[in-house]
Amino acid sequence: MIFNTNFSEILIFQLIIYSLRNFMFNNSNKMAPFTEYLRPILKSLRSDDDSFDRLNHRYSAAVLLVFALLTTMKQYVGEPILCWVPGRFTGAMEDYTNAMCWISNTYWVPFETRIPNPDDPKPHIAYYQWVPIVLLLQALLFKLPCVAWRLLSYNSGIDIQAMFKKLERDEIIEHKKMKSNVKEVTRYLARYLDATRDQPHGCCAWARRIMSSYLCVCVGKRRGNYLYMLFLWIKILYMVNGLGQMFLLNAFLGTQFTMYGYQIIEDLINWRDWTETGRFPRTTLCDIKIRELGGNIHRHTIQCGLPINFFNERIYMFLWFWLVFVSAGTIFGFFTWMSLFSVNERKVFVKKTISMTGKGDSIEQNRDTKRLKNFVTKYLRMDGVFVLKLLAKNTSDVVISRVVYSLWKRYLKRHKELQPDGLPLTPKANDASSPSAPPTDADDSEPPKGL
């Protein structure tokens, strides 16, 4: 019986996929206007984060919204509950019974167990009326970290989405346009890096650096790690949200939801019917009282069917595996970005990106290894490398390599005006090449010979 049930479900699923595939292939011309309509909508979606974040705030929220819509339609369009009433009940009495059993909660008792007395305490099933609202709440919780990231990152003074729009595929399809956009993004990023740098002149700047070191004020725009640390905190929020929703559903459903998927897998391995667990019963009992004239109270224990639990069972089975998948991906993404704490990892990324332009060998030939370290730690710092790596995940490697190489050339252009520790020298009077002079565009020039 179990085999036949699973086989029929698989057969229905395959028929649906086959029908959708035939519809798409046979109506490709008719669907062209629809795809053209979707194109600007897809292009308008922001991509100022990585794929793991989008898995949370975009795809997870969309899945939950679809499920909320399906359960809402089933509740208000179809029949969410059907009760078996005595034959003497009229149509109005049957409708009243269905309504009362829907709003007053039901309880589940296995068929082989004796029905308890109406006054005995029983564990009621109280979740099915609130499933659409809780699904909407879950979608909102998946969206909140994204909202926090966009608000706080925009406050940093750099618009990552604007840079991505300049470097996306449709904007760089032409060589001249790509060259112009790369130059514009390089200037914008260079201005941001210069604006967030502490001016190392005077006693106040020296005292501020000492206080920051002793008071452990190690995060901020002037420290060059505000965006990166903010991004990691947002990652932590995504992880807490993904894992926390497992326990939220555990409390909401009143069952051991955290072990739901494991028990389904165990039932399938042992060839047991995984639907007969009591978590989402299709047949429940309901105790109602009907008061008549004269003060007589009639008690009825009614058997009810919950067709909506068929959908709830499939929805929450999918959500268990989805939450595990999303949480695992988010944790993996968090530790991937944690690697930027290593200076060596940042150097490898920058050097590898520069080597894509065919100029990477010049770093070793010209003994620029120390300058590369200063370029990564003193000029780009954590936020600079983070922004470049984030752009690399949302654009092509060819484009981001040009941006990194343009920043590298700009740094080499100013290298003669830097101290050994990477800090600017005090500008001299009437010196047009000093750091106080307007920066020149070194984006289209070759690096000076011998550096």
**Quick one: pLDDT at residue 368?**
67
* Range in 3-17, 266-280, 364-378 the model is least confident about: 3-17
**Quick one: pLDDT at residue 230?**
92
Q: How confident is the model at residue 34 (pLDDT cuts 50, 70, 90)?
A: very low
**Quick one: pLDDT at residue 206?**
57
* CA pair distance 215, 194, nearest whole angstrom: 25
Q: How confident is the model at residue 5 (pLDDT cuts 50, 70, 90)?
A: very low
Tell me, what DSSP letter sits at residue 418? B
Annotated domain spans of the chain: 46-151+239-334, 160-197+342-451
Total Cβ atoms within 10 A of residue 176: 7
Write the CB contacts of 318 (distance below 8 Å, at least 6 apart in sequence): none
**Quick one: pLDDT at residue 134?**
93
Tell me, what DSSP letter sits at residue 376? I
pLDDT in tens, 185-199: 888 888 888 887 765
pLDDT in tens, 403-419: 888 888 888 887 654 44
Q: Is the pLDDT of residue 245 over 90?
A: yes
Q: How confident is the model at residue 422 (pLDDT cuts 50, 70, 90)?
A: very low
* Range in 149-163, 237-251, 266-280 the model is least confident about: 266-280
Pair 307, 82: CB distance under 8 Å: yes
Structure tokens at 257: 């939801």
Determine the distance from the C-alpha atom of residue 405 to the mean position of all C-alpha atoms in its chain, rounded to a whole number: 31
Q: Is the pLDDT of residue 153 over 50?
A: yes
Please compute the mean of the pLDDT values over residues 364-374 and round it to a whole number: 70
Most confident of 79-83, 118-122, 361-365, 423-427: 79-83
**Quick one: pLDDT at residue 26?**
55
**Quick one: pLDDT at residue 332?**
94
Please compute the mean of the pLDDT values over residues 372-388 and round it to a whole number: 87
Please compute the mean of the pLDDT values over residues 136-149 and round it to a whole number: 94
Own/partner pairs, 330-333, CB within 8 angstroms, 24+ separation: 330/52, 330/55, 330/56, 330/235, 330/238, 330/239, 330/242, 331/239, 332/52, 333/50, 333/51, 333/52, 333/53, 333/235
**Quick one: pLDDT at residue 435?**
37
Please compute the mean of the pLDDT values over residues 50-74 and round it to a whole number: 91
Q: Where are the alpha helices (DSSP H) in 168-296?
A: 175-195, 202-214, 226-253, 260-269
* Range in 64-78, 134-148, 272-286, 303-317 the model is least confident about: 272-286
* Range in 97-101, 352-356, 397-401, 438-442 the model is least confident about: 438-442
Quote the mean pLDDT of the chain. 75
Q: Is the pLDDT of residue 399 over 80?
A: yes
What is the pTM for the complete model shown?
Answer: 0.74
Most confident of 164-178, 267-281, 344-358: 344-358
**Quick one: pLDDT at residue 431?**
42
